[in-house]
Structure 1
Amino acid sequence: MSSAPETADLRPVTAERLVADLRTLGVPEGAPVMVHTSLRALGWVIGGPQAVLEALRAAVGPHGTLAMPTQSWQLCDPAMLQELPEEWWPTIRQHLPLYDAATTPSQTMGAVAELFRTTPGARRSPHPHRSITAAGPEAERITARHPLDSPAGEESPLGALVALDAWVLLLGVDAAKATILHLAEHRADYAGKRSVPNGVAMLVDGHREWTTWEELDVHDHDFVDVAAAFAAETGLVRSGRVGEAAAHLLPARALVEFAAEWFTAHR
């Protein structure tokens, strides 16, 4: 038996209402849109993640492309994560599953993104930790390249999204979740900017090997601040409500260009 909503003041949120709210917010039909969403924040959505995806597809239309982060942190080098005892690390490296774009689950990306990665026709980028999934006419261009040592750099799906003049849609989450801002970190020059080691189990010439590289040490501690400054100084952020959630729509190219300068000045 399904549980009833916990709050008497809630009313069911339909996919049709979500579509109407997305259009009122200004989500452009036919454009690439990078979506970050909290299902819980949207309210009691009839149909859950499936309905949210249907609404997002309807809002961007058949010529629009949706993208979402589908990262799989569970495959990272335990030394980079620093969450488990060091004496465990060799055993973890020896037994971590191989990344499979079709079957590796995302972690901490939310129910909508986890369902989205299984959408028929969706394409998932090949990075074993920082994958982006996209569906629509520009999906191949967005996900085709994703270098191991530059998961958020110019040659990553984030660079492709900016080149395509994509939009960033935040549904019930704040700008700390705006993955596109990691590209601005790559472009910025700030004190303490450094690389860190990472690794993953891969098949190399048919044999399992632990492969290592260096990547930018990225942080999101000031993403909310930079997004607020961007909104105040440019007036380019569209804000409203989608379902029961606070929602924000930001132009990716302008945001990244602004943030790269902001990080350089403020970090």
Structure 2
Amino acid sequence: MTEQAAIERVESPVTVDDIAADCRALGVEAGETLIVHSSMSALGWVAGQQQAVVEGLQRAVTEEGTLVVPTHSPQYSDSAKWSNPPIPDAWVEAMPERLPPFRPEATPSRGVGAVPECFRTFPDAVRSRHPECSFAAWGADADAIVADHSYDYGLGDGSPLAEVYDRDGRVLLLGVGHDVNTSLHLAEHRADFEKEHVSHRAPVIEDDERVMVSYDDIVTTTEDFEDVGAAFESEFGAEKGSVGAADATLLSQPELVDFAVDWFETHR
């Protein structure tokens, strides 16, 4: 979306106060744990752009609450699976050795949008150590949520997603659908159905030294995430509204994950 199109979507610039007030009107509560997925362009023309969105979200949950966002870095994923664009086959095997080590404080996120990339750089924001599927958090439980992110099965029970689940957190979708709802990956890991397992290597920093870590994971997909999200909302409902110009959805993460576990076991 062009900046002119964003201007045309709103009657006046969307501000930090607007973001916070709209989140509160939707049902976001001070002190809660909230995992957010967002589309900057869907919000309309925001005065201060992604910085204003981050500050509005922080104001909505307050320092007594905790914000979590995905800060994934697929540039550290298995290069054999890269498709946009693919790289020559001769490059694949040695790609982990060619990469600089993943650094939570410095490595940019990719493919998750402008808001998470801004969020991870904020004062007091902390980021988990996983080279491919890290999360950043801010607020009261930020350190605990991102600590000890398991290299193996990085979207499973050793991940920040499980920490959000254990804190009865909620999911906020801002201008995006369930196809990007990472909490459904936690359900994939927990569900009992036949899965393909893979192994990968990536460079990280441990004890101030570059080391190569190997980790196992499952092959995941988002192809049916919209279906399971729609089924959940049909049965359990969700809070619906607008934040800026974006359609917004707010729902319980544990309820969604538990529902999706059963749904995947039935439909996959």
Which interval holds the TM-score relative to the shorter structure? Answer: over 0.9
Aligned with 2:179 (options 176, 193, 197): 176
C-alpha displacement of 1:190: 2.1
Is 1:149 the counterpart of 2:152? The answer is yes
RMSD: 1.8
Partner of 1:188: 191
Partner of 2:40: 39
Distance 2:250 2:73 in 1: 25
C-alpha displacement of 1:10: 3.3
Closer, same or farther in 2 for the Cα pair 1:206/1:69, shift >3 Å? closer
The one-letter amino acid paired with 1:105 is P
Distance 2:247 2:133 in 1: 26
Report the secondary structure of 1:211's partner residue.
strand
Q: What per-residue deviation string (whole Å, max 9, x for no partner) do you get for residues 104-154 of structure 1?
A: 000011111001001111111110110000000110110002111110111
Distance 1:247 1:21 in 2: 9
Distance 1:58 1:119 in 2: 14
The one-letter amino acid paired with 1:97 is P
Is 1:132 the counterpart of 2:174? The answer is no
Closer, same or farther in 2 for the Cα pair 1:141/1:234, shift >3 Å? same
**Number of equivalent positions:** 263
TM-score relative to the length of structure 1: 0.93
Gaps of 5+ in 2: none
- Asked if the contact 2:153–2:215 (Cα under 8 Å) also holds between the matched residues in 1, the reply is no
Distance 2:31 2:205 in 1: 38
Q: What per-residue deviation string (whole Å, max 9, x for no partner) do you get for residues 34-85 of structure 1?
A: 0111110000001101111111011111211100000111122312436322
The one-letter amino acid paired with 1:153 is G
Distance 2:175 2:95 in 1: 35
- Asked if the contact 2:36–2:69 (Cα under 8 Å) also holds between the matched residues in 1, the reply is yes
C-alpha displacement of 1:214: 2.0
Moved more, 94-103 or 208-217: 208-217
Aligned with 2:162 (options 143, 159, 169): 159
Partner of 2:17: 16
Partner of 1:234: 236
Closer, same or farther in 2 for the Cα pair 1:25/1:90, shift >3 Å? same
Is 1:105 the counterpart of 2:105? The answer is no
Distance 1:207 1:167 in 2: 37
The one-letter amino acid paired with 1:148 is Y
Gaps of 5+ in 1: none
TM-score relative to the length of structure 2: 0.92
Report the secondary structure of 2:263's partner residue.
helix
The one-letter amino acid paired with 1:260 is V
Report the secondary structure of 1:50's partner residue.
helix
